[in-house]
Amino acid sequence: MHGLVLLCAALLVACTTLWWAFGPQTASHARETASSRQVALLAPAGGFGHDLSVVDAYAAIPHRRTAFSERESTRSHGDARYLSALFAWTDLAVVERVTSQRALWSQQHSSLPASSYDAILEGLSSLETPRHLRPAQDLIESAISDQRAYFDEWQASGRRDYFKASHALVQSSHRKLIAAYKKLKAAYGDEPAHNKRAFFDHLCALDFI
């Protein structure tokens, strides 16, 4: 339990760094929408066998979760459907990150869950990505790959205190997620505030720092 408290505290501090602090802020709570229920058809609703749900993973960080709303979107049906699917997969990557980080912080290296990163990246690559959003998706996929590589290093170290915000892979993932968020915001500047918050929340929750 002590390790879990330390994990939550560290992640809370990490996710309030200067850049993300200037992102859109709101006191609203996470909402489950009809759109998010539809997305269950696009990505494994129960994740990949982890005990942690998407909602629990966000609560463990802790971080607000705003589900992208296809109904409120100003975009074409194809674009809106794509964004719902994209964020369904990034939510599973958040579960993977939190699950792995919990195990490594608690020194449960021998019981670290089998990685689902290959399946997540395969799911992302299978999406019918609009051409103008390919650069943003490439950045997200690369950021997730950096996180997987960092967890491999952390596990190999055998050290509970291996996590460092200054590590090259942590910083690389961080920069790529910020760049992806900026590209989404630039491409969909006319989206309603709710969906802009969804862009921010999904990618900030995925970030290490």
User: Which pLDDT tens digit goes with each residue over 14-45?
Assistant: 443 434 444 443 333 333 333 333 333 344 54
Calculate the alpha carbon distances from 120 to 92, 98, 166, 171, 193 in Å.
7, 15, 26, 21, 28
User: Which pLDDT tens digit goes with each residue over 134-144?
Assistant: 999 999 999 99
Report whether 42 contacts 88 (CB < 8 A).
yes
Distance CA 161, CA 163 (A): 6
Looking at the DSSP bridge assignments, the partners of residue 66 are 31
Distance CA 177, CA 200 (A): 10
Q: What is the mean pLDDT of the chain?
A: 79
pLDDT band for 111, please (50, 70, 90 cuts). low
Report whether 116 contacts 48 (CB < 8 A).
yes
Cβ neighbours around 143 below 10 Å, total: 25
Distance CA 104, CA 86 (A): 27
Distance CA 35, CA 16 (A): 28
Look up residue 62 and give its DSSP letter.
T
